[in-house]
Chains A and B, each alone.
Chain A
Amino acid sequence: MSSLLPGLYNYWIVIFLMMTGLYIVISRRNLIKKMVGLSIFQTSVFLLYISMGKITGGTAPIVAGPDTVYSNALPHVLILTAIVVGIATTALGMAIIVRIHEAYGTIEEDEILAQDLRPQ
């Protein structure tokens, strides 16, 4: 039980980042800050995957002879894909924010909402 905290520190970091990201997405009213939160949230998942591929004493999976312990490379490869997806999401989100700024003149959610409620 005593090894729970230091022994699994990478998972604690993952959980901390995940909650931070999700909290920012929920609580911030600024569209860009929301995107920042979303990116942190996604990054925490990358760390989760990378952590699980690590095997104690394992090395990079390049054939080095018998009796060598290799880390599992598959989660890393998966995360390469997920990183690309994350970048695409952020880019698209930012592009939409630019368009929103052109249309509304603001990127604060409250002001956008107020403008929508006002009869045009």
Chain B
Amino acid sequence: MIEAHLPILQIVVPLMAAPVCLLLRRRALAWVWATLICCLSLGISVHLLRRVMEEGTIIYALGSWSAPWGIEYRIDPVNAFVLLLVAIIGAVVILYAPASVAKELSDVRGSLFYATFLLCYTGLLGITITGDVFNLFVFLEISSLSSYALISLGSDRRALTASYQYLIMGTVGATFYVIGVGLLYMMTGTLNMADLAVQLKPVMGSRTVLTAFAFLSLGLSLKLALFPLHLWLPNAYAYAPSVVTAFLAATATKVSVYVYIRFFYSIFGTDYTFETLRLDYFIVPLALVGIVVASLVAIFQTDIKRMLAYSSIAQISYMMLGIGLMSVTGLTATLVHLFNHALMKGALFLAMGCVVYRMGSANLTDMRGLGRQMPFTMAAFVLAGLSLIGVPLTVGFISKWYLVLAAIERGWWPVAVLVLLTSLLAVIYIWRVVEVAYFQKPSDSATHAVEAPLSMQIPMWVLVGATLYFGVSSSFTSGVARRGAELLMGIGP
């Protein structure tokens, strides 16, 4: 009985739990409650993915109003995979949160933080699960508004301006999205994704659809921080509280990448997107420039959180490159990297959270000699960093492998070479941290630093463990990603 309603419970449980957090008032109580909810949510998403892989697409009509009239939740391997990713990161980050939140947000009511966190979490899950384009907009705004609020909680006053800048850019992006959806509705009279794909076919040639396409691609590119629309990202990630940075870096942009794939592969269809309009001519060059420029900028950052933010922009560009390669392997690379990057970036930002917890800053000069004082944290940083570079036996290797394979399949040798060469740039910016932390005399603040508490170490190591585990045994991630990619390309079941 309850099993049939799992798709809606995935959303309703955290949504209803958020206001309850406020009623609990006490910081610790709110945390226990939020943790409980996140774990429950994780359980649901694991179950959903398993069912999707066994039985195929799950369709859930909200309030039993069937598809084109009512809102439906449609879960296939692609979004079940992204749901699982958001749920994993949510659960790990919430377990990590209490010590870090107590330290960095001492003047904020803890229950408020957890309520906003749950709302953001709900929004991201909702974007992923829904099969209705307007419903997607509402969830997009739920997650965006709560993430603006979360970012503005940062202790540095620049967090406020970063949050404001993100609010302006994010709202412009979301409004572009609504304009695009409105224009599509004008032509088809439907908001359901599957129905849109069918209804759009006869009117594909019209200028309205073309305009809708332009608005949607631009709006979504803003949301996912495609180079050169990434300007909101570095400050937002650098000044937000560590927990928030880890959560957003691992999930928010990934979910936007998913929406991008959904729109241009499932709704507009590969024929229109790539044969008629040649979207790949637009995103592949931007992705390549993005990879190089963002990696280079990352090398010159002194704030490590900021450095990792620029690295995120480069990594998102890898995902966009996979989308632009327009093949099953390319999409597999994107989906695998979506998952893998979330794991390693999550681990890296959690490690930085430990450093900030003890040192009060993520500045490179303060981190001198930290390798001796905080061995476990820095070891986690190095392992996740190796994964970012793409060393074999880590998840980063699997992503790069598929990406290079897809580029060669397409016959784009220079792209494959560029992907490998830019990995070297990642070596440089990770090495800078290693060099400072392990081979230099401790700074004044580093000599007094001790290892971060276990409550922060364990969740961080869970993610590091996952980057290693999925790096060695990649059959789960690549299997699900390939099923999803085949579905998106219209081959296979």
Binding site for B on A (CB under 8 A): 18, 22, 25, 31, 34, 38, 41-42, 45, 48-49, 52, 75, 78, 81-82, 85, 88-89, 92-93, 96-97, 99-100, 103-104, 112, 116
Contact B167 A52 (CB under 8 A): no
Contact A38 B164 (CB under 8 A): no
Contact A100 B160 (CB under 8 A): yes
Contact A34 B168 (CB under 8 A): yes
Contact A96 B178 (CB under 8 A): no
One of B137, B160, B185 near A96 (C-beta < 8 A): B160
Q: A85-B141, A89-B145 are contacts. A48–B179 as well, Cβ < 8 Å? A: yes
Q: A41-B172, A45-B179, A75-B185 are contacts. A100–B164 as well, Cβ < 8 Å? A: yes
Residue B134 CB within 8 A of the other chain? yes
Residue B171 CB within 8 A of the other chain? yes
Q: A48-B182, A52-B185, A96-B148 are contacts. A88–B172 as well, Cβ < 8 Å? A: no
Which has the most chain A C-beta neighbours within 10 Å: B145, B152, B160, B179?
A: B160
One of A38, A45, A97, A116 near B182 (C-beta < 8 A): A45
**Smallest distance from the beta carbon of A105 to chain B beta carbons, Å?**
11
Give the residues in chain B near A103, CB-CB below 8 Å.
157, 160
Residue B410 CB within 8 A of the other chain? no
Residue B363 CB within 8 A of the other chain? no
Residue B443 CB within 8 A of the other chain? no
Residue B329 CB within 8 A of the other chain? no
**Smallest distance from the beta carbon of B428 to chain A beta carbons, Å?**
27
Query: Of residues 105 to 162 in B, which have CB atoms within 8 Å of A's CB atoms?
Result: 134, 137-138, 141, 145, 148-149, 152, 157-158, 160-161
One of A42, A49, A75 near B171 (C-beta < 8 A): A42
One of A22, A38, A81 near B138 (C-beta < 8 A): A81
Residue B317 CB within 8 A of the other chain? no
Give the residues in chain A near B179, CB-CB below 8 Å.
18, 45, 48
* 5 A–B contacts, CB within 8 A, in A order: A42-B175, A82-B137, A93-B167, A96-B164, A103-B157
Residue B186 CB within 8 A of the other chain? yes
Residue of B nearest to A100 (CB): B160
Give the residues in chain A near B158, CB-CB below 8 Å.
116
Q: A48-B179, A92-B148, A96-B164 are contacts. A38–B172 as well, Cβ < 8 Å? A: yes
Residue of B nearest to A93 (CB): B167
**Smallest distance from the beta carbon of B364 to chain A beta carbons, Å?**
17
Give the residues in chain B near A31, CB-CB below 8 Å.
164
**Smallest distance from the beta carbon of A37 to chain B beta carbons, Å?**
9
- Docked pose: A100 CA to B221 CA in angstroms: 28
One of B141, B160, B167, B172 near A22 (C-beta < 8 A): B172
Contact A92 B160 (CB under 8 A): no
- Docked pose: A89 CA to B141 CA in angstroms: 9
Residue B377 CB within 8 A of the other chain? no
Residue B270 CB within 8 A of the other chain? no
Residue B467 CB within 8 A of the other chain? no
Contact B157 A25 (CB under 8 A): no
- Docked pose: A18 CA to B175 CA in angstroms: 10
Give the residues in chain A near B138, CB-CB below 8 Å.
81, 85
Contact B168 A41 (CB under 8 A): no
Residue B41 CB within 8 A of the other chain? no
- Docked pose: A75 CA to B179 CA in angstroms: 12
Residue B163 CB within 8 A of the other chain? yes
Residue of A nearest to B140 (CB): A85
- Docked pose: A8 CA to B148 CA in angstroms: 37
Residue of B nearest to A52 (CB): B186
**Smallest distance from the beta carbon of A33 to chain B beta carbons, Å?**
12
Residue of A nearest to B166 (CB): A96
Contact A92 B167 (CB under 8 A): yes
Contacts beyond the supplied A89-B171, A96-B160, A99-B160: 10 A-B pairs with Cβ under 8 Å:
A25-B172, A38-B172, A41-B172, A75-B182, A75-B185, A85-B145, A88-B141, A89-B141, A97-B164, A103-B160
Q: A42-B171, A96-B164 are contacts. A78–B134 as well, Cβ < 8 Å? A: yes
Give the residues in chain A near B164, CB-CB below 8 Å.
31, 93, 96-97, 100
Contact B152 A96 (CB under 8 A): yes
- Docked pose: A45 CA to B185 CA in angstroms: 13
Residue of B nearest to A91 (CB): B145
Please name the 3 residue pairs, one residue from A and one from B, whose CB atoms are nearest each other, closest first: A103-B157, A85-B141, A100-B160
Contact A112 B172 (CB under 8 A): no
Q: A38-B171, A103-B157 are contacts. A92–B145 as well, Cβ < 8 Å? A: yes
**Smallest distance from the beta carbon of A24 to chain B beta carbons, Å?**
11
Residue of A nearest to B181 (CB): A78
Give the residues in chain A near B186, CB-CB below 8 Å.
52
Which has the most chain A C-beta neighbours within 10 Å: B172, B175, B178?
A: B175
Q: A75-B185, A104-B157, A112-B161 are contacts. A99–B152 as well, Cβ < 8 Å? A: yes
